[in-house]
């Protein structure tokens, strides 16, 4: 009886920890691409949900995962949104893109996007500032 209970507990934990909504070895490439596209749209919508009027209310974060390593780009976001939720979504997207790259044997250039030094506002939109 103890063995059965232990086995049941282990199986329950294993299934509870499985990422049922993300990229797995069971998902098709089209499903994986749709997931990444949907996540990226959600992230962009959150990023653009606030008009940029005060540059000091904006930050940026690396997003995505190049097959060679490193981020695919950077995205600006307002500190007026739920930062924790936004950053979790960016992190999840980045993890899923890394899984996609590995699963489907994706390759890319190994150059990295320039990291901004800050954000300024122009015409209500965030614009990256780069070191001179």
* Tens of pLDDT, residues 27-83: 999 999 999 999 999 999 999 999 999 999 999 999 999 999 999 999 999 999 999
User: What does the pLDDT read at residue 16?
Assistant: 39
66, part of any domain: yes
> Residue 99 has what pLDDT?
98
| pLDDT score recorded for residue 13 | 40
Mean pLDDT, residues 87-97 taken together: 99
Domain assignment present for 51? yes
Report residue 73: phi and psi, to 5°.
Answer: -170, -170
Whether residue 7 lies inside any domain: the answer is no
Domain span including residue 78: 29-129
Domain total for the chain?
1
The pTM is what?
A: 0.82
Q: CB of 58 within 8 A of CB of 121? A: yes
In this structure, is residue 15 part of a structural domain?
A: no
pLDDT at 132: 85
Q: Tell me which residue of 18, 27, 23 sits closest to 99, measured CA to CA.
A: 23
Please state the rounded mean pLDDT for residues 100-113. Answer: 94
pLDDT of residue 111: 95
87, part of any domain: yes
Is 115 a member of any domain? Answer: yes
Residue 101 lies in a domain: yes
Q: Is residue 67 part of a domain?
A: yes
Q: Is 115 left (phi over 0), alpha (psi -120 to 50) or beta?
A: beta
Looking at per-residue pLDDT, the higher value among 20 and 96 belongs to 96
Question: Does the structure show a pLDDT above 50 at 3?
Answer: no
């Amino acid at each position: 009886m103890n063995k059965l209970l232990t086995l049941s507990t282990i199986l329950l934990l294993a299934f509870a920890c499985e990422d049922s909504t993300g990229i797995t070895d069971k998902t098709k490439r089209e499903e994986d691409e749709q997931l990444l596209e949907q996540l990226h749209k959600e992230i962009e919508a959150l990023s653009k949900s606030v008009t940029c009027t005060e540059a000091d209310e904006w930050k940026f974060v690396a997003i995505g995962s190049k097959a060679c390593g490193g981020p695919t780009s950077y995205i600006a976001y307002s500190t007026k949104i739920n930062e924790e939720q936004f950053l979790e979504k960016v992190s999840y997207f980045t993890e899923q893109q890394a899984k996609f790259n590995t699963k489907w044997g994706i390759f890319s250039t190994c150059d990295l996007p320039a990291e901004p030094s800050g954000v300024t506002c122009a015409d209500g939109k965030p614009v990256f500032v780069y070191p001179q």
